[in-house]
Chain A
Amino acid sequence: MPDTYFYRYDDYDRTLVSERVDQFRDQVRRRLAGELTEEQFKPLRLTNGLYLQLHAYMLRVAIPYGTLSSRQLRKLADISRKYDRGYGHFTTRQNLQLNWIKLEDAPDALAALAEVDMHALQTSGNCIRNVTADHFAGAAADEIEDPRIWAEIVRQWSTLHPEFTFLPRKFKIAITGSPNDRAAVRVHDIGLRLWRNEQGEVGFEVIVGGGLGRTPMIGKTLREFLPKNELLAYLEATLRVYNRYGRRDNLYKARIKILVHEVGVEKMRADVEAEYAETRDGLLGLSDETIEAISQQFAPPDLPPRSNLAGAVEALRLEDRDFALWLKSNVAPHRVKGYAIVTASLKPAGAPPGDASAVQMEGVADIADAYSQGELRVSHEQNLIFPHVAIEDLPAVYAALGRLGFAEANVGKITDIIACPGLDYCALANARSIPVAQRISSHFAGLARQHDIGDLKIKISGCINACGHHHVGHIGILGVDKNGVELYQISLGGDVDFGKTALGTILGPAVTADKVVEAVDSLVTTYLDSRGDGERFVDTFRRIGAEPFKDRMYAAL
């Protein structure tokens, strides 16, 4: 079994997680005994990742910065079998949700997670949530620095932070270390982007007040360049300003984006900088030694450079059209010559996006052991990633994934749909998401057509909370309830790419569930008829605007 190439828990981390499990076990006992009311218990279970959904409790397991080992994934499979129904759902926040957990089993499930240094801490509640990062971190060819080092530093600082556990609302932090932002840093409460300034120093651009949900907003730059070792002091200052002045009178206006919007980014900056002036020289400064010790744990595996040309790959590419397409869509450049980053698509045609059975999880873990240094990533696009695959192993990985049903050559394509659990599971949802995703996915199943259509991101949310990120889908689909009927509002032109981050434009009246596929089909046809050379769907939309799409779509329905 290969060692891991990311943060390894030491006795401090293990002690804290296990003491937290003990504390929660006692809280569950008191709730079952009637010593705690549901109102008192709810925030306690939520900060341990336990929701009550329509049919059962749901446990949201944190996968910090989307990185996990094959051993951890096997354990997740195990837990899903023992305490759930043998499958799990990978989410847009790089977490894993188990949908059928019993309250009385939850402490045991958490104890089982702790055995592999995992937890469900702060995956819900009005606290700093699990920190997300670029899913290609540590492997991407375009990376300046591994953002996970910083995500781990933030994970520790934010875990059981005594001052910030009862914030006005939830707080999400995302970090990217590449110019190609794969972590969507402009749509988080705080987005951190590592970049190199003119003096050659690497620091953070701190972006604040982005987010989707009811009031979608693009984040604004709070600080152009923050020296890295000042990160925690600056975050603490920002969170303190938010904790003190964020609105608490209205649930829907309590996120930091509303505070930034209401006071203006200049005032927000002045307040944070004033607070920061007082905190910066305190104990939160990060010593080079501390940073170095954590960085070492993320030291990349020793990958001996190999040839980018592999005869077997070339032969299969010529002979197997689907493999050729898979190379194009599911394989990305690695920083080391002769290696690649492979995405396993959790979006087989007609399947619920992001779901994996226990056997599939174990199969993926086996592939990671055999071909990717035992390491995996979860992407916010709800796929699993093998970060370090030798190019010559690609045919074997493709074949192994094929046996699991995860070799669909559709990453970034129209059937690589992001969808929240929707009304089938979720207590907040107004409409179903998964069956809509399934119908679209089945309709566009042909790979050749998908590749002809090219990059097109469909994102579906079952309510305004936007867990399916519909605002930033090239095609966004939002389920709404109108007098007991599910309707779907369609928007175009959303994007999370850095520098192009945009919120979609709503086309017009919502359509009924049975018309969604026709509507999407018409949008695709309009694009195919209008596209210029090399234009993606979203490029054509930007050039010609919403009208041609809208006219044709409503005429077709």
Chain B
Amino acid sequence: MISIGIDVGSVAAKAVAYDGQKVIANAILPTGWSPKKTGERLLNQIMKELNITRNDISSIVGTGYGRVSLPFIDKKVTEITCHGKGAHYMDPDIRVVIDIGGQDSKVIKLNDNGTVGDFLMNDKCAAGTGRFLQVMANALEIDVSDLSKLASDVEPANINSMCTVFAESEVVSLIAEGTSKEAIASGLLHSVCNKTYSLVSKLGVENKVFFSGGVSKNKKLVDLLSNKLGVDIISSDEAQFLGAIGAAIIGY
């Protein structure tokens, strides 16, 4: 039998299929305006790829912000529990998961068996999240995926504001002063790094640390955070699927 995990985040929706041993298919789409339709499309995409029908699926578990709007799921579990399970699947030695997505940043501390020991989430603002970087990239008129490359090997400009709204005006002022895009990009990543560092420090670092969520695609940020925490943070191309993997495993 096969179980499906669907993680509908604020920006991207992810789905994976799991056969009890390993992940056998995955799919990703922008969440868009209808989490329900996006979830259905992901499910169909996976079924098509594996050439299976609903009868071959033993369970579907939903997670992420959109989990409440998926009528076809058997169970819903929070992304915090799912990220724990997903990380444990990736590497059983992982004890800390840093997850920065579109609107949240979380730090999850794991027990030996992949269950959640403790967790912290950011406050209700977008400070230090994917949304923060997205807004700042817009202010710099660049694509968010170029931030990492742009920021390499330059002295960071000092960006004090953590609030997305105030930081944007700070960036606009820096541009007006003639500060280079590279220095601003680097400054932005440093500020997200510092914000994340203080969240992680509250729970403490132990054994292997995994970085998940869309923001983990930013290689420069992973490096900055590794240096600051003094550990080699692991990330992977599959990192964005961590929640969906955990959901599929919980359902299996």
The finding on whether chains A and B are genuine partners in a shared complex, rather than unrelated, reads no
A residues near B (Cβ < 8 Å) are none
B residues near A (Cβ < 8 Å) are none
